[in-house]
Every structure is written in structure tokens, then in C-alpha cells.
Structure 1
Amino acid sequence: MKTIQLILDEIQGVMTNVDEHSLEKLAAFLAKGKRIFVIGEGRSGLMAKSFAMRLMHLGANAFVVGETTTPSIEAEDILVAVSGSGKTKSAVWTAEKASSLGCEVVAITTAPNSELALHASFVVNVPAVTKYRTNDDVESIQPLGSLFDQSVHIILDVVCYLYSKITQADEDETFNRHSNLE
């Protein structure tokens, strides 16, 4: 139980330093978007995919960049790019491309001055460590970017909750959008 508490304390430390008002603004921003696309690599990509699934359940037109059924992105769409370092080439390139097409870009990162953030119109700063251990203000007993991934998961779940309140997502409709092939 001691290790569990240490990890929960680490997550709590990050969450207390996240600007909740920015999450409210992000949820409202997403609710006004035509379609929402997400990108991330590795475990950040898994967090992004999880977010897209939750948004789809809530009635959003959400897509994962790189999937075979993902349509082309267009002006008025929103791209949410998740990268702890803000340097992941695929996320940066995709953000740059989406921005050039007239899309709004949201960066979820520990590096608000990163290359990814420079292409974003909206940045959510996640004050956690990544695998690069570049955030000197935060320590973690966990390997690689686990603290970042866990924090992003919670942050994006909060955004989904706020989004559901804004869009007045109906619980029955949300359930009906959940996979029934499992």
C-alpha cells in the first residue's frame, strides 16, 4: 500500500498544479469544433486514443490520426496533439500541417514553450516528468513517463466530463454509442 500511496501522491502533486480553468476552456473549445482529431505516439498515443473514444461516446465526431478510417482534416476541425516533450516529430509535423490547413491545434505537453506548443492555439501544461526527466520541479519514483501518462489520462477525463456537461450528453445515448461487439 505504501507504493500505491506514493504514486497517488505524485499524481495529486501534478493535478494541484494544473489550471482547471484551462480545462473548462478546452472543453468549451472542443464543443464548438466541427470534428476532433487526436495524435500521440507510444503511451501518449494510447492516452489520445482513449480520449477520442470517450469523445465519440459523448457524441463528438472524433478521429485518431493514422487510423485507416480517419478522414482528411479540414479547416474548422480541431487537432489535439499529446506529447510530453513537445518534440515528438509526428505530433509536431501533424500540428504544423493542421495549422496550415486552418485547423485549431491543442497541445497537451509538459513543455509549453516547445516546438509543438508553437504550432498550437491552445496549450494545456501538464507539470509532470517525462521519460526525458527534464522538469526539474517534479520528481517521480515511476519509470519513464508514467506520471505524465497518468496525469494526461485524468486531465482528459476531466475535459470529457466538462464536455458532457456543455453538450448535455444523455447517459442512454452515450451508452448506446459504446461498443456492443465485445
Structure 2
Amino acid sequence: MMKGLLEAVLHENSLVLSQVSPLETDDLVKKIHEAKRIFVYGEGRSGLMGKAFAMRLMHCGYEVYVIGETITPSMGNGDFLIAISASGSSTSLAGHFSTANEKEASTFIVTASKENQLSTDGKLVIPAATKHRRQGEPQTIQPLGSQFDQSVHLLLDAIVIALLEGRDQNTELRKRHANVE
């Protein structure tokens, strides 16, 4: 039984990720390379995926902060806000994007929503099922937004690999890995 469930989850995520636009992923990689500092935002499980991504970006040598943490500084010109939101429409997300625009920081959203209404400098659509189960979302055996969360995590880890291209991944990342765990 468990083997069949695992195979189904892997198959579902593979189908979702096969539909992601290479142009959108390349755009995110380029914008991360160009950013002065990176700010990551997400709520709930999307926020947890964002924290995992922020940690990997730090391991890669980027100056990165998670919005909502006590040590997060103010945003400014040349900074880059990456938000992860299945719906792409929360009130707090709109407020953070407004602040980023005010401070001349660029914005990017990783979302399941193709019809996202927020004005951003970039968007990466992951066409996965969300907790809302809107028309057009893929069928899934997974509860709530699990398919989106898992697909986000896998895709952002692949983006980290792209950011590390040509570098000694393990040696370089281990230098910045926590040593006071």
C-alpha cells in the first residue's frame, strides 16, 4: 500500500514539474544572481518552503533574509523579494509587495495561480493543486496544498543547483553550513 502511495505522489509531482516554464525558472535564477540582498516571504507551509530555500541561498553565499524573522533588516533599492504563495493573493503579500515597490526593490512570486493579480517583476507558476481545489487544478491524492508545497520544494532545490553551476557544491556549501547545531 505505502509503495503505491509513494509512487502516486512522485508521479503527480513529476507531472506538475514537467509543466513549469523554463523561461520563468531562468528568469528567477538571473534575478537572484543580480540581487543585492534577497528577502523571502511565505505563509504557513509555503513559508516553510521559503525558509528552506532561504537557508540554501545562504549556503550558496547570498545575503538572504526571511520576512517576519526578528533579524530581518529593512528593504531597499537593489534588493529582491521572492514570495511563495499558492493563491498569490493574500492581503499581507500585497502589503509586502507594495513596500518593496516603494523602496525600489524588485519582486517575484512563486505561485500556483496563472491569473495572479499582483504587479510583480517576475512570476514562476507551478501548476499544482492547492487547498482551494479550483477548477483547472490537477487531480491529486494529496491533502490540502501538499502537491504545491512539495513541487515548490523540489523546484527551488533545482534552482539552487542551477545557481551553483560550475562550483564545488558540497565543499562550498559546507563552509556556510551551521556548525553550532
1:116-142 CA deviation, whole Å, 9 max, x = no partner? xx2211000010011011152411111
Q: CA deviation at 1:146?
A: 0.1
Per the alignment, residue 66 of structure 2 pairs with 64
Per the alignment, residue 82 of structure 2 pairs with 80
- CA–CA distance in 2 between the matches of 1:135 and 1:62? 36
Q: Is the 8 A contact 2:130 2:137 kept in 1?
A: no
Q: Is the 8 A contact 1:58 1:164 kept in 2?
A: yes
- CA–CA distance in 2 between the matches of 1:137 and 1:38? 25
More divergent stretch after superposition (88-97 vs 148-157): 88-97
TM-score, scaled to structure 1: 0.93
- CA–CA distance in 1 between the matches of 2:153 and 2:92? 20
- CA–CA distance in 1 between the matches of 2:71 and 2:169? 26
Amino acid at match of 1:18: V
More divergent stretch after superposition (16-25 vs 136-145): 16-25
Runs of 4+ more than 2 Å apart: 168-173
Per the alignment, residue 34 of structure 1 pairs with 36
Q: Secondary structure at the match of 2:92?
A: helix
Matched, 1:181 2:180: yes
How do 1:79-98 and structure 2 match up within 5 A?
Answer: 79-98=81-100
* Inter-CA distance 148–135: structure 2 relative to 1 (3 Å threshold): farther
Q: Is the 8 A contact 1:34 1:76 kept in 2?
A: yes
Q: CA deviation at 1:30?
A: 0.5
Q: Secondary structure at the match of 2:151?
A: helix
Q: Is the 8 A contact 1:112 1:123 kept in 2?
A: no
Amino acid at match of 1:123: K
Gaps of at least 5 residues in structure 2 are none
1:42-88 CA deviation, whole Å, 9 max, x = no partner? 00000011110000000000100010111101010000001001112
- CA–CA distance in 1 between the matches of 2:64 and 2:84? 15
How do 1:134-153 and structure 2 match up within 5 A?
Answer: 134-153=134-153
Gaps of at least 5 residues in structure 1 are none
* Inter-CA distance 175–42: structure 2 relative to 1 (3 Å threshold): same
Per the alignment, residue 111 of structure 1 pairs with 113
Per the alignment, residue 133 of structure 1 pairs with 133
- CA–CA distance in 1 between the matches of 2:101 and 2:128? 26
Q: CA deviation at 1:169?
A: 6.1
1:90-144 CA deviation, whole Å, 9 max, x = no partner? 22211121122111101000113223xx221100001001101115241111110
Aligned pairs, how many? 179
Per the alignment, residue 55 of structure 2 pairs with 53
Per the alignment, residue 101 of structure 1 pairs with 103
Amino acid at match of 2:116: S
